[in-house]
Every structure is written in C-alpha cells, then in structure tokens.
Structure 1
Amino acid sequence: MTAPAGRQRTAGAFLGVLILILTACTNGNDNNDNNDGNEKPRPSTSASAWEPVWSDDFDAPAGSRLSAEDWIYSVGTGYRGGAPRWGTNEVETMTDAVANVRHDGAGHLAIIPLRTGPGAGRWTSGRVETRRTDFAAPPGGAVRIEASLRMPDVSGAEAAGYWSAFWALGAPARPVAATNWPSIGEWDVMENVNGRDSVWHTLHCGVPVGGPCGEPTGISSGELPCPGCRTSFHTYAIEFDRGVTPEELRWYVDDRNTFTVRADRLDPAIWAAANHHGFFVILNVAIGGAFPAPFGGGPTPATKPGVPMLVDRVAVLTRRG
C-alpha cells in the first residue's frame, strides 16, 4: 500500500510521522518520476513477447474458497512476530471466512469488509497472498504483474476508511514477518482510499523512515485521476524491466504508462536489494489506518459495510532478454 501502505511495516514504525508525510502526498509527491517532462511514456511491450508464468481467473462456484495451492490467507491483525495492526494502524481483523473472501460465481474474487456492532463497530475483511514468491524479472528481461479489478463501489461518507490495494512484496519479507521492510522492496500497483476516483502507485525501499525512498511515503506517483475505476473493471499492472539502461519500474492503467521510476535515481545497492529477487502478490481491503487519515479518516458510523473489491484476473508474465 502507499507510503502508508496497508502492508506490514517494521515493528513500532513511524505512525506518528505518517500523517504529515501523507498529507504532502495528497497533492503529488516531489519524489515522483512521473511521465510529465521530456521523457516519453513507454508503451507496454507487445503481448506476444510475454510468456505466462502464473494466473488465476477465479472461475469457481459461488461461495467457494481460494485454491490452497495458489493462495495463502493472511489472518488476524498482523503477521505473527511482525508489526501490530499490519504496521499501518488499520482497524480490521483479516479472516479466511467466506463471508470476507470468496468466489462470487461470476468469475470474480470478492474481498468484502464487514462490520459488527453499533457505531463504527468492529470490522473484518480479507487479505490473500500468492503462495509463490518467485515472480521475478530474469537478468536482461522483464516481469509483468497485472490484475483486472473493480475498486469498491462506494463513495462519500459511506466510503470513509475504505483502503483497497493490489501490490507485491519482496520474497525475503515472508520468512521474517516483513520486519526487513522496506529494504526488500514493495511495489504498490493499485491503491485507493475513501472512495476517491483516483489511484496511487508506489515503490518502497531503503529504511523505514527517510532514506533514499523518503519512507514511509516511498517514491510515489501521488494521487492520479482514475474515473470509472469504482464502477467498472480496469487493468492495473507493473513491469520491472531489466532489459533497458537504466532499469525501470513502470506502472500502467489499462496499458497506459502512468508512472515510472528508474534505477539511476537510487544507489545501485538499494535498487538491487529492493528489486533483484522474487516477489509475491497481495490483494486486500483494509479499513482505517494511516492512508485514509489525510482524506477524512474512518471508519465512522456512516461507513457502509459489505462493498467488495472484485478481482476478475491476476497474472504474472515474464520476458527474456
């Protein structure tokens, strides 16, 4: 998740500084490398050049669970041994219940935040991760991670506290409950908060506070307009390309290059530690926390429960050098 990603953060992290840093992100991030200067956006490489590595189309009976061969349910309020409340002050408890995570029978994965109790209540939701952690760009080649999804279709006061995300963490995070974040890299492909018609893309790396990536905000696109992203499906993707000099991370919405970060903006060792290894993919809907806070916060008694993020497909592809 963005700077204040809904991701695991090192224990005891920086929640005090998150709000201040995120507020700057509201109007865009001075650290970004967006495609608005003399650089020409790179189109995604022709589909014929990509080789499928793994995918899930979520074609399964309504109410069924995800494949245990492909997916892991992350449950509770943080990784065991990791930062509490997922390191970002989220308020939900993640579960593996079909009430929160299930196939909808129409070819989609539904991740559904639910509330129990009066007022703002207690919240549950879902967070799932690919079992595989080896999604990587081959030397001289590239990896592409993409998903077709629809953000939760909720807005205004009813959306307060919603935080949906599609992202990837560096493989070295899994054995140590992400206590080595952010040095091992995090790619936030799609993040959306509080029902805004917008999207954020972010690279996290370096050290938990400050450092070369300006953590905990990270190197961010800032808020980008995304009209229709709550009401229809769109494809969000990231490509890590080791076949260009300097190497590039490129983000896409419907194959339009919306953000780029190049290796020459970081020390080579920092860049390599963040990107030169496998990744695993994560899908989740958080409630509350550091990222929604600058945009009105939440949840509140007006927040509407039960509005899902729907995922039509997730795929990983590679291209050889």
Structure 2
Amino acid sequence: MALQNQDRTSAIDPNSGFCSDSGTFRSLRPQAPLPPETTPLSVADYVFSHLRASPPHPSTAALIDSATGRRILYPDFLRRVETLAASLQTTLGISAGDSAFVLSPNSIHIPILFYSLLSLGVVISPSNPASSDSEISRQIQLCKPVVAFATLETAPKIPSLRYGVVLLDSPEFESMMTNRIGEFRRVKVRQSDTATILYSSGTTGRVKGVELTHRNWISVFAGVYAVHGQSKAAATSPAVALCAVPYFHVYGFGYCTRVLALGEILVTMGKGRFDLRRLLRTVEELRVSHLAVAPPVLVAIAKDISVMDGCDLSSLEVVGCGGAPLRRSVIEQLRKRLPNVQLAQARISLS
C-alpha cells in the first residue's frame, strides 16, 4: 500500500499538481483537517463551533441589506438562526430528513433560513424565482419537499405541500426569527445525510437535482478555514463581502454561507432588477473588499469605459467570478482598470 501511494505521489507534478496517471489536477496544499466521518455533525454545527471558538466582535455586522441599510449583528444572527429553528420545529413540526423548497430572490433573511434548516437536518432545495411553472413542478418532483419558503410574489407558483408555504417577506416570518415559541431541540445529523439539492442548468437534457451532503459542505469549509486562518489572524477588520450572484445557485449558496462561516460581513443587494451602477455605488459606500459576480458583470465593466466614472473602488481587494470562464481579452482589460484587485475565477459544475 505504501509503495502504491508513493507511485501515485511521484506521478503528480510538484509545480502544477497535474497527475499524469489520472489526467487531473490535484491541490498542492496540505490536506485540511476533517472531523471523523462517523461523528454525527451538521455543517451548521461545524460552522458554529468555529464561530464560538473565534467569535467576531459583537458589534460586527453579519448581514447588511444595501437597499435599506438594515444590519443584523453577529449575536443577533446566531439568535435568529436558533430561534427560527425552534419555531420551525414547534409550529410546523418539520424534522431531519424532510426537504424544504426555497423560491426567493436574495434577501437578508435567506442566509438565516439556510443555517436554520441545516441545523435541523432539513434538506435545502433552492430554486430560481424566475423559473416557469413546469420547471418548478419538475424540481418539486425531484426534491419532494414538505414545505416551501417563498415571497408574496413567488408563492403562487408553489403547489400544495404538507406544511404549506412560509412567506419570507411577512411579519409572521420576522416573528418566527425573533419570538421564541419553544426550546430548540438538538437534532442528530449524520455527515453522510443530504444537506442540499441544487439544480443543474439543464443544458444537457432535463434539469437534474444534485445532492450534496453535510460532509461535502464540511469539507468545503474545512478548506476555507485552512486557507484563511493566517490571513484572518493578520486582518485588522473583517472582510466586507458583496454577493451579487443568486443564493439559489451553488456559487451563491456556497459564497454566502462561507462568508458567514468566516465571521465576515455579508452584503446583499436585495430584490429588483440588477443595476451595475448601484452595485458599484454599494462597493464605494460600504467599502466592500470582496465581490462575487457573474461573468456578464465583469464583461460590462471591461467594455464600458464610463461605468466606473466617479466611483471609488479602492476598497476592493478580490473579485470572484464563477459559472463560466472569462475571455483573456476581458481579463487583460480588467487588470488595466482594476490593477490592485485580485481576480479569482472558479469553475463550478454540479452535473
């Protein structure tokens, strides 16, 4: 066995990580420490154990709604996650293994909902609120939800479900996050349990639901903690991260949950038609350091010389882009326009 491992290691290029045997690239970083696979642990509990061990300052905002200026500080964020989880247990009776369908644009409430459901062992299945009735019907067939979380605008698209539809933009939902009805009952979640069902684009056939386990997401965050450990210790203030990609996409889901897992500040643009000038003004006003966008946004910045006029983007350190590759010409133009910004590209594929 030792000789076999040595042979595999020798087949990996130490400079690029390319493995000639498998034809794939492997990370050159040391393997991130993971909890024992048999330990019952949800990704929410894994994240919260890290936040308790290294808590953000109580005055640090966890969530900011750039449209309204509303801020939710970290102590309130953690309380809301647990209070909502207790409310869902008490009022709806949902339990581990149930599936929840989420049909909503980005909002300050969505990350709270995600972490509450993950802590309950409920499978999260978010969908594009612009989906057609037939697309939603297909997705509901795949994830078999017992409850849906939607807005007043998207709720009519949801068929009848066992526990109905919870409106995220209602006073009742706000009450579920702030008024504790009962005590939160800890749930035993196996790392091998499904945490999310996310959907492929359907470019190679019908839309497919792709299951990711708690172990999958724990592995993602373990890598994040390993990479960001030193930089976080050296930072004088938490990063301010603006997520301009939809939370129902694997890129947006992973980004918004990762930012909070690191104790950083997550800024949401809220609902409404995307406006590039408003995005850039938000970067300036909130001193955003990390920005997550889709390729068309960077193409627009690269092509339109005037779009950045009058905008102070000096706070930007990293711009992340995923979903599709950027052309070399776009990258070169961006480097000229944003010379002090690191451009990070991620190829994300579920299917």
Q: TM-score if structure 2 supplies the norm length?
A: 0.27
- The structure with the largest helix share of the pair is 2
Higher RCO (C-alpha under 8 Å, 6+ residues apart): 1
Q: TM-score if structure 1 supplies the norm length?
A: 0.28
Answer with 1 or 2: which has the greater Rg. 2
